[in-house]
Amino acid sequence: MKLVLVALFTAFYLLMAIRFFKVWWVFFKRDTDLSLNWTYISIAVLTLASASWPVVVPFAYLELLAKVQRNAAEFEVEASETETSELEEKAEPKNFVSPVEL
C-alpha cells in the first residue's frame, strides 16, 4: 500500500513538474531580447523552478494574490473619487446661474 502511494505521489509530482515546465516554456519563448548567456541562465532557472514547483507555486500564488488585492484597492479609490466628482457635478451644474445673479 505504501509503495502505491509513493508511486502515485511521484507520478503526480513529475506530471505537475512537466506541466509547469511546458507553461513556463511558452512564456520563456516569447522573450526574444535575451542574449545567449541569459538564455542559458534562464533555462537553468526554468528547470530549477519546475523541479521545485511545490515551493515555487505557493509563493507565486501569494504574490499574485497580493497584486490583485492592491489593484482592487486602487480601483475602489478611483471608483469613489469618480463617484464623488459625479455627485458634485449633479449637485451644482457648471453653467448654473443663481437667482441672485438674475
Pairwise CA distance, residues 87 & 41, whole Å: 55
Taking 50 as the pLDDT cut, the residues of the chain under it are none
Q: Is 32 helix (H, G, I), strand (E, B) or coil?
A: coil
* Dist. CA 14–CA 89, nearest whole Å: 60
Spatial distance between the Cα atoms of 75 and 90, rounded to a whole number of angstroms: 22
Residue 51, exposed/middle/buried by CB under 10 A (0-12, 13-18, 19+)? middle
pLDDT digits over 12-36, tens only?
999 999 998 999 899 888 877 888 8
What's the whole-model pTM score?
Answer: 0.55
